[in-house]
Amino acid sequence: MKFTLNGTPRKLDAHPLKRLLDVLREDCELTGTKEGCGEGECGACTVLVDGEPVVSCLMPCAQVEGCEVTTIEGLSGDHPLQRAMMREVGAQCGICTPGVILAAHALVESTRKPTLERVREALAGNLCRCTGYEAIHRAVLGAHAERHAHAASAAPEKAKA
């Protein structure tokens, strides 16, 4: 099976019904994608397939043949969303964090400023048992501001409470 993983073409030999989650963690050794509930409720295993968030625990790997898959490892580690999550303490135990970041990625990259309601909708499929979500929502809004701040502004914009 051939697909593109974080920008690099990959070819692997896996059972076509093997969960994409297991292919990523075991065959590709990318363990940033976490398993939470295993039934599509918690969003911890969220990855992007052709730019759209999906839960990798409910996807047979055969379905990503020819597609572009992005996992948390595909972000630089220095993405505005990753920095904002640290700044706002949007993570405690961290299990939900890779999924949250990928679910919010499209909102942050979009030039249109999301409302808080829009952020909540985008993250409705991601459960966090630690933070109570407020810090996560602040991080997403702050990351959007930072991502689209004019290059001239010296300091990164402080996220609004």
Partner 1 sequence: MRTATAPYALFRARTLDGALKILREEPGTVPIAGCTDVFVTLEFGGSPGTRYLDLSRLSALRRITTSGDKLVIGALATYTELQKSRFVRARLPMLVEAARLVGGVQIQNMGTVGGNLANASPAGDTLPVFAVANADVVLAGPDGERRVPFNAFYTGYRASVRRPDELIVAVEVSPVIGKQWFRKVGTRAAQAISKVVFAGVRGLETRLALGSVAPTVIRLPGTEMVLNGGGSIDEALRALADEIRPIDDLRSTAGYRRSVAANLVRQFWSETA
| 55 close to 46: Cβ distance less than 8 angstroms | yes
Q: Which residue has the tokens 């997403």?
A: 140
Residue 20 CB, nearest approach to partner 1 (Å): 10
Residue 113 CB, nearest approach to partner 1 (Å): 18
Distance of CA 13 to the CA centre of its chain: 26
User: Which residue of 18, 32, 109, 130 would you call a contact of partner 1, by CB under 8 A?
Assistant: 18
Does residue 95 touch partner 1 according to CB under 8 A? no
Length of the chain measured in residues: 161
Does residue 118 touch partner 1 according to CB under 8 A? no
Report the distance separating Cα 127 and Cα 13, nearest Å: 32
Q: What is the per-residue binding string for partner 1 in 120-139, x denoting contact by CB under 8 A? A: -xxxxxxx------------
| 1 close to 63: Cβ distance less than 8 angstroms | no
Does residue 55 touch partner 1 according to CB under 8 A? yes
| 125 close to 43: Cβ distance less than 8 angstroms | yes
| Size, binding site for partner 1 by CB under 8 A | 31
Stretch that binds partner 1, among 79-87, 89-97, 115-123, 148-156 (CB under 8 A): 115-123
Q: Which residue has the tokens 């985008």?
A: 122
Q: Measure the CA angle with vertex 100, ends 157 and 130; round to 5°.
A: 95
Stretch that binds partner 1, among 34-42, 71-79, 128-136, 151-159 (CB under 8 A): 34-42
Which stretches of the chain bind partner 1, using CB under 8 A?
Answer: 15-19, 22, 35, 38-41, 43, 46, 52-55, 57-60, 62-63, 103, 121-127
